[in-house]
Amino acid sequence: MQIRQSTAADAPAIHAVHTAAFRVHNPDVTGEMPEAKLVTELTADGDLLPALSLVAVRDGEVIGHACSSPGRLGGDPNSAIGFGPLGVHPDRHRGGAGSALVHATIGAANALGYRLIVLLGDPGYYSRFGFVMAEKLGVTPPVPEWAPHFQALPLAAYTPENRGAFRYAAAFDRL
């Protein structure tokens, strides 16, 4: 398996991955899956961070995708990023693609000098990568009901001053 930065040519495969990955957990959703739509809108808005839009490729096929977008932490628009969505095609689950994408994202975000990665997801899955409940770091979600699933990972440049209310890129508000 190869992890690489996504390209514009990957867009249809990325859309298909997120559609299949999230349809499994939400079979009653009709129309476009919100996570697939989110990636499309982040891209259209220019908020998909190119260095942090990564695909997992096996046998020449895109089987997974992870992306990040800029976030605002308190009054700071540069220290934190919002991670997600992360999707792996259901036929390729349990093959390590999701973990590889998370590890690659963490490494790249560290190298780029970000201080914090924030996400909304399953604590049982993301805790293995070092994510903790965001409230432990003084980071609050944009929607209070998200708190049980709102997590953060302090990176190498993190300082305790990196706290406050977190805002995702505008596309998240349109979901």
Q: What are the angstrom distances between the C-alpha of 7 and each of 2, 60, 67, 98? A: 14, 14, 12, 19
Average pLDDT over the chain reads 96
Please write the tens of the pLDDT for every residue from 33-51. 999 999 999 999 999 999 9
Does the pLDDT value for residue 30 go beyond 90? no
What are the residues whose beta carbons fall under 8 Å from the beta carbon of 8, sequence distance 6 or more? none
Q: What is the pTM of this model?
A: 0.95
Scanning 46-162, the segments in alpha helix (DSSP H) are 97-111, 123-126
Q: Domain locations in the chain?
A: 2-169
Give 25's pLDDT tier (boundaries 50, 70, 90): confident
Per residue in 6-19, pLDDT tens?
A: 999 999 999 999 99
Distance, in Å, from the CA atom of 10 to the CA atom of 62, rounded to the nearest integer, reads 8
User: CATH number of the domain at 2-169, please?
Assistant: 3.40.630.30
